[in-house]
Chain A
Amino acid sequence: MNRIENAFKNKPIFMPYFPLGFPDLETSIDVIEALAKNGADLIEVGLSFSDPLADGPVIQKATQVALEKGITVKKSLEAVKELRKRGVNIPLILMGYYNPMLAYGLEKFVFDALDAGVDGFIVPDLPMEESEEFRAALSGAASEVEAPLIQMLAPTTPDNRMELIARNAKGFIYFVSVTGVTGERKSISDGLEDLIARVRKHTSIPVCVGFGIGLPEQARSVGMVADGVIVGSACVRAIGEGANPVVTAKEFARNFQEALKMKIWNDR
């Protein structure tokens, strides 16, 4: 059983996002280690890009800071290696835009990432239509089950398209819960349960929900219907604002882990 499958044994899982290099490289490695050792079941490790068009202001600013401090793809992959050295054993999924991966050399990027201990990839500007090249690069280095390119679904995705994407998806499905960019929202869309039921008709792999979830209570209610809850902007904002990023990361992960795993008896 690979790391991703293993992580989903105790659902719903908590999946925070954090960009490498924010507020600086050393701190970001410590933060991710703290998240991993205090309740995160899987971490989306962010690669920075100058033009993150799917991201809201919080992640835009954080990745901008990371770039100003000199983060690169190469340094990011070395940081993943360092995390593995420190005993971080949960799945680490790289989340980044396509251009820096192309500039690095796609095959070399995939090879080096897997070598560093990455378990999968999320590329928000790579829809199904354009993913063949990436899959080919992946298949040269590992099987799709071992290291999937995670597919995203959106509330706007029509049924026939959803079926096509879900059927071929590996690892887990990243369901974007709102039409919009990343960032916290006051309420999560009402029809979520129905939307997820639609996805489940076409696949048996876990369905995780992201975009807009900022509070443990929101995570809990999403966790009632989804297999995993992705928290990005709220995590980056809390840790960025915290006096001690590592302490904040620990508390953040514990709060969400508790909220999620208590879901069964807290269900009203």
Chain B
Amino acid sequence: MSTLLPHKFGPYGGQYVPETLMPALIELEEAFVSAKQDEQFQCEFDRLMASYVGRPTPLTHAKRLSEKLGGAQIYLKREDFAHTGAHKINNALGQALLAKRMGKRRILAETGAGQHGVASATAAALLGLECVVYMGEVDIARQEPNVFRMKLLGAEVRPVSSGTRTLKDAINEAIRDWVTNVRETHYLLGSALGPHPYPTIVREFQSVIGREAREQMLMEVGRLPDVVIACVGGGSNAIGIFSGFINDEHVELIGVEAGGSGIVSGKHAARFGDPSKGRVGVIHGTRTYVLQDEDGQIAETHSISAGLDYAAVGPEHAMLRDLERAFYTSATDEEALDAFSLLCKTEGIIPALESSHAIAEVIKRAPTMKKDQIILVNLSGRGDKDLNTVIRELNGE
């Protein structure tokens, strides 16, 4: 059977799911295609983005950081300003509207850092939907404030104790729940991952970041950036900002994966960065680069930031990398922490540890660039949720 929208990104993507879910994916694709053509749906989405999320989010010239690094001018796309503190709300609200349109009254979400869980719980509260969030026990421990937030917002948080007890296991449990309750439930997947049509839907709802950023660069700075940098876990904030510049061939796109304790340590989440473990495979319904052992078992990952701690990368990123339209690198836990501190002190902005990986790449790259060149960074979220982790790390625990 053919799909309405392209279901692959080159050789990546696809729909590797049990038969029980195929009809739900087909229904979701149909709902998405019809919603996109429906002016009323688009108006409702735009209205909520403006009046509820607070869009457009600002563009900030990080003058002191730029001076300190002594090279390129650095601009921050401030997704940390979005309601709930990260870009995740863009997609959560979009998909929650889709769920309503499909007549589904229950939404399911997985969460790593808790940002997508909070965003989903928020969207569910706003639209009057029931919300269940699956979260690994390890992540629950390191993201406690977000767990409390989700509960306040009326969501049920279900701890996941199977496997590595992190994001990948939360996704397994969410999919199992979805298989069981598929008729009345929408699975609100939080990243540009999973089976078609999710990577496309998530990119479309996150593309607002790139559209705004491009317009702001032209209006406020008068030119496009030379480089766009974003962190890449599943890759939703990155694909969101990249999509705005994908046709501007001279704009370099850089994704930053979690280097954890360093690539050679083996404790990381650098799918592209470690050819010994990062190979093309299938996980959670999609074909992409996956960290795995020789026997095809999914590898354990490590990152200081829960939001980047995942074994697979969104399939569109795999394609962009093959096409050499985007380039991917990594930053270690330590580099991310240094970047976190530097941004706090030079700009008065506490970034999420995820976004700090993107700042870490800026620290490496800006000094090598000229003063009239421009780096645009997607500051995908705020760091309040990470304070416990950072305090522990800075105290050397």
A contact residues vs B (CB 8 Å cutoff): 49-54, 56, 60, 64, 67, 72-74, 97-104, 124-130, 151-158, 161, 164-165, 176, 179-181
Pick from B7, B14, B179, B284: contact of A179, CB under 8 Å: B179
B266 interface hit (Cβ, 8 Å): no
Most buried by A among B20, B163, B169, B285: B20
A99 B298 Cβ-Cβ under 8 A: yes
B54 interface hit (Cβ, 8 Å): no
Top 3 closest pairs, chain A to chain B, by CB: A103-B296, A100-B296, A154-B20
Pick from A51, A101, A127: contact of B172, CB under 8 Å: A51
B163 A50 Cβ-Cβ under 8 A: yes
Which residue from chain A places its CB closest to the CB of B20 in the assembled complex?
Answer: A154
Query: In whole angstroms, what is the CA distance A98 to B18 when docked?
Result: 11
Known: A53-B179, A127-B19. 18 other contacts (CB 8 A): A49-B296, A50-B163, A50-B297, A51-B163, A51-B172, A51-B283, A51-B284, A53-B176, A74-B295, A99-B282, A103-B294, A125-B16, A127-B15, A129-B7, A154-B19, A154-B20, A179-B179, A179-B182
B297 A100 Cβ-Cβ under 8 A: yes
A98 B19 Cβ-Cβ under 8 A: no
Which residue from chain A places its CB closest to the CB of B176 in the assembled complex?
Answer: A181
In the complex, how many angstroms separate the beta carbon of A65 from the nearest chain B beta carbon? Answer: 13
A102 B162 Cβ-Cβ under 8 A: no
B179 A181 Cβ-Cβ under 8 A: yes
B103 interface hit (Cβ, 8 Å): no
Query: In whole angstroms, what is the CA distance A254 to B368 when docked?
Result: 75
Q: Which residues of B contact A49 (CB under 8 A)?
A: 296-297
B23 interface hit (Cβ, 8 Å): yes
In the complex, how many angstroms separate the beta carbon of B391 from the nearest chain A beta carbon? Answer: 33
Q: Which residues of A contact B23 (CB under 8 A)?
A: 154, 156-158, 161
In the complex, how many angstroms separate the beta carbon of A176 from the nearest chain B beta carbon? Answer: 6
* B1-24 contact mask (Cβ, 8 Å, vs A): 1 or 0: 101000100000011111111111
In the complex, how many angstroms separate the beta carbon of A127 from the nearest chain B beta carbon? Answer: 5
B182 A99 Cβ-Cβ under 8 A: no
Which residue from chain A places its CB closest to the CB of B23 in the assembled complex?
Answer: A156
A sample of 8 inter-chain contacts (CB < 8 A) reads A50-B297, A54-B176, A125-B16, A125-B18, A127-B16, A127-B17, A127-B18, A161-B22
Q: Which residues of B contact A50 (CB under 8 A)?
A: 163, 297-298
CB-CB contacts below 8 Å: B18-53 with A = 18-24
Query: In whole angstroms, what is the CA distance A176 to B180 when docked?
Result: 12
Q: Which residues of B contact A161 (CB under 8 A)?
A: 1, 22-23
A157 B295 Cβ-Cβ under 8 A: no
B283 A164 Cβ-Cβ under 8 A: no
A176 B19 Cβ-Cβ under 8 A: yes
Which residue from chain A places its CB closest to the CB of B24 in the assembled complex?
Answer: A156
Q: Which residues of B contact A64 (CB under 8 A)?
A: 162-163
B58 interface hit (Cβ, 8 Å): no
Q: Which residues of B contact A102 (CB under 8 A)?
A: 280-282, 296
Query: In whole angstroms, what is the CA distance A158 to B25 when docked?
Result: 13
B290 interface hit (Cβ, 8 Å): yes
A152 B16 Cβ-Cβ under 8 A: no
Pick from B3, B168, B183, B279: contact of A51, CB under 8 Å: B168
Query: In whole angstroms, what is the CA distance A60 to B175 when docked?
Result: 14
Query: In whole angstroms, what is the CA distance A126 to B19 when docked?
Result: 8
Most buried by B among A53, A67, A104: A53
Known: A125-B285, A179-B180. A53 touches B20 (CB 8 A): no
Q: Which residues of A contact B237 (CB under 8 A)?
A: none
In the complex, how many angstroms separate the beta carbon of A35 from the nearest chain B beta carbon? Answer: 25
Q: Which residues of A contact B279 (CB under 8 A)?
A: 103
CB-CB contacts below 8 Å: B256-303 with A = 279-285, 290, 292, 294-298
Query: In whole angstroms, what is the CA distance A180 to B24 when docked?
Result: 13
Q: Which residues of B contact A157 (CB under 8 A)?
A: 19, 22-23
B182 A100 Cβ-Cβ under 8 A: no
Query: In whole angstroms, what is the CA distance A98 to B285 when docked?
Result: 10
B175 A53 Cβ-Cβ under 8 A: yes
Which residue from chain B places its CB closest to the CB of A54 in the assembled complex?
Answer: B18
In the complex, how many angstroms separate the beta carbon of A30 from the nearest chain B beta carbon? Answer: 23
Q: Which residues of B contact A152 (CB under 8 A)?
A: 18-19
Pick from A54, A60, A164: contact of B162, CB under 8 Å: A60
Pick from B20, B179, B296: contact of A73, CB under 8 Å: B296
B281 A99 Cβ-Cβ under 8 A: yes
Q: Which residues of B contact A97 (CB under 8 A)?
A: 282
In the complex, how many angstroms separate the beta carbon of A154 from the nearest chain B beta carbon? Answer: 4
* B202-244 contact mask (Cβ, 8 Å, vs A): 1 or 0: 0000000000000000000000000000000000000000000
B179 A99 Cβ-Cβ under 8 A: no
A53 B1 Cβ-Cβ under 8 A: no
A176 B292 Cβ-Cβ under 8 A: no
B15 A130 Cβ-Cβ under 8 A: yes
A104 B284 Cβ-Cβ under 8 A: no
A101 B296 Cβ-Cβ under 8 A: yes
Most buried by A among B7, B163, B182, B283: B283
Which residue from chain B places its CB closest to the CB of A176 in the assembled complex?
Answer: B20
CB-CB contacts below 8 Å: B171-196 with A = 171-172, 175-176, 179-183
Most buried by B among A50, A153, A155, A157: A50
A129 B1 Cβ-Cβ under 8 A: yes
Which residue from chain A places its CB closest to the CB of B297 in the assembled complex?
Answer: A50
In the complex, how many angstroms separate the beta carbon of B272 from the nearest chain A beta carbon? Answer: 18
Which residue from chain B places its CB closest to the CB of A164 in the assembled complex?
Answer: B1
Query: In whole angstroms, what is the CA distance A128 to B282 when docked?
Result: 16
Pick from A54, A101, A128, A156: contact of B183, CB under 8 Å: A156
Query: In whole angstroms, what is the CA distance A98 to B20 when docked?
Result: 17
In the complex, how many angstroms separate the beta carbon of A71 from the nearest chain B beta carbon? Answer: 9
Q: Which residues of B contact A156 (CB under 8 A)?
A: 20-24, 182-183
Q: Which residues of A contact B179 (CB under 8 A)?
A: 53-54, 179-181
Query: In whole angstroms, what is the CA distance A25 to B361 when docked?
Result: 47
Query: In whole angstroms, what is the CA distance A51 to B22 when docked?
Result: 19
A103 B295 Cβ-Cβ under 8 A: yes
In the complex, how many angstroms separate the beta carbon of A140 from the nearest chain B beta carbon? Answer: 20
Q: Which residues of B contact A130 (CB under 8 A)?
A: 14-16
